[in-house]
Structure 1
Amino acid sequence: MSGHVDPAMGAPERQANADDVIDVAGLTKRYGDKTVVDGLSMRVRRGEIYGFLGPNGSGKTTSIRMMCGLLTPDAGQGHTLGYDVVKEAAAIKREVGYMTQRFGLYDDLSIRENLDFVARVYGMDRRRERVDQALSRLGLEGRQKQLAGSLSGGWKQRLALAACMLHEPRLLLLDEPTAGVDPKARRDFWDEIHHLARQGITVLVSTHYMDEAERCHRLGYIAYGRLLAMGTPAELVRGSALSTWTIAGEGAGELADALEAAPGVEMVTRFGNALHVSGADEARLAAAVAPYRERAGLRFEHGEPALEDVFIHLMRQSADNFPGGGR
């Protein structure tokens, strides 16, 4: 797979690059006898939107917290925004905006009052100017007097992002920021993220949504504490070594059980009235599909897997290889 990480080979020799906002090698975090993050090495460039994907408990949040100075790694080294992640954690935190999936502002304060409160707590200069800019940037001016507790999930998300931007950070770390938000609000949020990236702000975002993953410049897939693959969405699809048949039409779902048991089929994914049937051996996969190709009302198409197919495949591969837990 393009960008595949082979732990046996170790981390490659690393050379400093002025465009690297995050450059870490061998980051490790343990809780008791469990290794939550195991030798994480990665780079994120300036102005890049880097997507962090993986199953629940894979170590994504712990990795993000180590990179932004909120957790001290047990092993490993690296820099974020030019600061040492171990020795200069406090300096990193001053220049990072960190947005969690939980809304952490005050329901009984208005939008403006929440932003002004955050600016006061952190002793920011130009407080009114910063709040005005945040309101304008996130389209909150018309609602600035509305109580935060009365906002929908999408508007709360905008407010949380506005609060993250008050101190003009160079790096945004977004931990599943769109959980529970409707599709239109998610689209609007991502339009804003791309606008920020064009201004040179770097974004590291963890997500479970495949449509969001496809909006990232590059992706990393982490499972059970190990980074298994990284690259652009197109590189990950091309390098997956998967061949996929799409079977569509009424009755396609009735073939799922039989195909899952067929030699050469590694994965069957259901999409409404369609199936994605995937496997690494193209010839064996074609032989498994062949007996059903003459069925009336079904359409068969051979091609590349979808990004979701690739990540489900990685998840299934990793589950037995790295038992344990993550956070």
Structure 2
Amino acid sequence: MSKIKVVHYINQFFAGIGGEEKADHKPEVREGAVGPGMEFNKRFKGEAEIVATVICGDTYFNENTEDAKKKILEMVKKYNPDIFIAGPAFNAGRYGVACGTITKAVNDELQIPVLTGMYIENPGADMFKKSVYIVETKNSAAGMRKAVKSMTKLALKLAKGEEIGTPEEEGYMPRGIRKNYFAQERGSKRAVDMLIKKLKDEDFTTEYPMPDFDRVEPNPAVKDLANAKIALVTSGGIVPKGNPDHIESSSASRYGKYDIADFNDLTSEDHETAHGGYDPVYANDDPDRVLPVDVLRDLEKEGVIGELHRYYYATVGNGTAVSSAKKFAAEFAKELKNDGVDAVILTST
């Protein structure tokens, strides 16, 4: 029996090309295994082999998605693989989105089995876990060997067309698919058993897990707006012209802090949006539509608010990991408190 043919997708970092400064690397294909692909080949133990590795920079893929998909699909099609593997991406947001996007495209358009892997909080996980098999990994490349081990096992089963077990058995993220099966005990008994365990405060596993929503309790209302210092924060990507901090258009890894002390109104001459998740025309035409500096200045003059804080903070919410967003907020919230800000208006898109 011939070896299972695998085409592997990785980003510029894992290909050894470079970091963020090389994230605009255009799609290319190399024969054989590159970077983590060598660990995959080792784990395949002769049953499968990576025949080609497709490499693309994270920024290039996310800012030129359709073009990148078209080029990569042509590369993959040339090798006619038995399975296509992307990543693992761990908690790298743009890499995760790229892995999810390209695996779904390969599966949809070439009808080739696909697999990727990433951390549960990677934005790509939430976007694509119902469309493709995603093996859950640790949040950093320190978990590479464990991730490859889990991915290899599932990849071989997918390539062979074998029946795939439950997420708990195979290590992939739940896809929201329910299958009928014959259980040893009927549902009423299983339900009562779970209830008894719950009443005894014992561990039990539900057969129908509910969504886990992150609820944030609202703070008390501002009592004296007329004397309050108000700050603006946005995930809508409004930045000074030229995007001086190079905030990514998707899966942002940074935020910016910008001085608006001399601005009563934002215009297309001095500000723009870096956001890649909505049509930028109207935001670029009048950035106040996303970051309402003009309205806050009016309220300041009218005495409705005490003052508008001289700095605003901006990032891009499009595909940005929840963990990254929490980290950004924790950092600049300290600055806002130290600057005596009483309340924040958070705008989106």
The answer to whether the superposition gives a TM-score over 0.5 is no
Q: Which has the higher contact order (CA 8 A, sep 6+)?
A: 1
TM-score scaled by structure 2? 0.30
TM-score scaled by structure 1? 0.31
